[in-house]
Amino acid sequence: MFTGLVQSLGTIKPLGGDSWQITCVSQSSNVIMQDLAYGDSVAVDGVCLTVEEILKDGFIATASPETLRRTTLGLEEIKQRYVNLEASLRVGSKVGGHFVMGHVDGVGRLLTAQQTATSWEMTFTAPEAIARYIVPKGSIAINGISLTVAAYEPELSQFTVAVIPLTYADTNLRYLVPASWVNLEGDILGKYVEKLLYPGKKQSTSSDETGLNEITPTFLAEHGYL
């Protein structure tokens, strides 16, 4: 489990097969490396990977076929790209973002990035499997970064987040250009609400099959969730 507060930037390089070498490159890399141990979990652009070998300035991990299929790790563009790194949450640590599981739901794309007087406003696409968990002022993880949804347009399957200068400067968001792929993870709280409201129903990318189009603030309030 993670909090979505990125601790270091790194680079990622395929080693053949499903193995990857992750190298810490930012000045804060000691946060990742200081007590890194074999078997630890590290979020790499929001993907939970297990440390299999520790290197001087990084580690080696394996990505399963399911991970490659569902995340940007399976895309050609990931090679030699900067990635966000976060060590797993320790008991007693501060939760400054939200609970991020490192289980990416799918990928989206950056549409626009516009600098304002106080932040960067970034708009992304989101597939239906993720979009159904997006609510205005709710949380979403983008490349492992905990961000708040500023606006959501369900008819366009896109949402906007406001990124403060600190987050923009310390993460790989600043390297994104329109059409860049990103990993997306919906808030785990929304997934549990869905499970409790519709027990026994299979998860689907179709709102018609799950009835999720019927979930409204009023509906949730009537069922004790507000």
Read off the pLDDT of residues 86-132 as tens digits, 9 standing for 90 and up. Answer: 999 877 677 778 889 999 999 999 999 999 999 999 999 999 888 88
pLDDT at 213 over 50: no
> Could you tell me the pLDDT band of residue 184, with boundaries at 50, 70 and 90?
very high
**What average pLDDT does this structure show over 68-79?**
81
> Could you tell me the pLDDT band of residue 219, with boundaries at 50, 70 and 90?
low
pLDDT at 211 over 60: no
**What average pLDDT does this structure show over 38-66?**
95
**What average pLDDT does this structure show over 183-197?**
87
**What average pLDDT does this structure show over 14-43?**
90
pLDDT at 80 over 60: no
* pLDDT above 90: percentage of residues in the chain: 63
Short-list 156, 174, 157, CA closest to 165: 174
First to last CA, the chain: 25
Short-list 101, 105, 112, CA closest to 48: 101
**What average pLDDT does this structure show over 150-177?**
94
> What whole-number distance in Å separates Cα of residue 142 and Cα of residue 69?
17
> Could you tell me the pLDDT band of residue 152, with boundaries at 50, 70 and 90?
very high
The domain 8-87 is placed in CATH, from the list 2.40.40.20, 3.60.20.10, 3.40.50.150, 2.40.30.20, at 2.40.30.20
pLDDT value, residue 214: 53
SS3 per-residue string spanning 23-52? EECCCCCHHHHCCCCCCCEEEECCEEEEEE
Which of 34-38, 122-126, 186-190 has the weakest average pLDDT? 186-190
Q: Are 100 and 184 within 8 A, CB to CB?
A: no
> Could you tell me the pLDDT band of residue 48, with boundaries at 50, 70 and 90?
very high
Q: Which residue has the higher pLDDT, 31 or 120?
A: 120
pLDDT value, residue 203: 54
Q: Are 153 and 159 within 8 A, CB to CB?
A: yes
User: What integer best gives the mean pLDDT of the chain?
Assistant: 87
pLDDT value, residue 89: 82
**What average pLDDT does this structure show over 151-171?**
94
Q: Which residue has the higher pLDDT, 77 or 117?
A: 117
Q: Where are the domains of the chain?
A: 8-87, 189-222
